Amino acid sequence: MQPADLRIGIGHDTHRLGEGGPLLIGGVTIDFDRHLIGHSDADVLMHAVTDALLGAAALGDIGELYPNTDAENAGRDSGEMLSGAMQRVVEAGFHLINLDCIVFAQEPKLGAFKRPIAEKLASLLKVQPDQIGVKAKTGERVGPVGRQEAIMAECVALLCRVAPDSGGSC
């Protein structure tokens, strides 16, 4: 494998929290008294994953594909956006090796949701759950995350260029 055959992308997103639940993170609905605010369904983790994938393949970003100025994207399912981005990544000749993701939330505690989130992302991306790392960190009561004003997510994606006549492997 040549070094140019591997691509790394990073994605980041932040959404404000509003009163009333439930909370949607990584396609998983979490019983909580607050929700994320955004133009689409505001799934902060899916947005970060989408940007990481697009960035690794040098295909732009989520705002270019699904602008918040387009009424069609109001309330849009972030899973649909992620699937669309992944389709572009595959069409550009890349294969997902793995994702490593962090969700920054003071509350709720996300430990019990990490596996279901990994499974949901894996299903949308058509990979195995063990290719998706999900970690949760608090804000240590500092900044907008610590004050429970926002939830943030970051993700790193590793792609490889699919070798010609390889049957889809790198």
Q: What is the pLDDT of residues 85-118, one digit of tens each?
A: 999 999 999 999 999 999 999 999 999 999 999 9
Beta strands in 86-149 (DSSP E): 94-104, 132-137
pLDDT number for residue 168 = 65
Tokens of 87: 């389709």
Residue 70 pLDDT grade (very low, low, confident, very high; cuts 50, 70, 90): confident
pLDDT band at 170 (very low <50, low <70, confident <90, very high): confident
The stretch 140-145 carries a mean pLDDT of 96
Q: Is the pTM of this model over 0.85?
A: yes
Tell me if 55 sits within 8 A of 11, measured CB to CB.
yes
Pair type for strands 34-37 and 94-104: unpaired
Contact yes or no for 145/153 (Cβ under 8 A)? no
**Closest to 3 in 3D by CA, of 168, 155, 161:** 161
Which residue type sits at 48? A
How many other β-carbons are positioned within 10 Å of the β-carbon of residue 8? 12
12-32: pLDDT as tens digits: 999 999 999 999 999 999 999
Which residues lie across from 102 on neighbouring strands? 135, 154
Q: What domains can you pick out in the chain, each with its CATH number?
A: 3-161 (3.30.1330.50)
pLDDT-derived band at 4, boundaries 50, 70, 90: low
pLDDT confidence tier of residue 41, bands split at 50, 70 and 90: very high
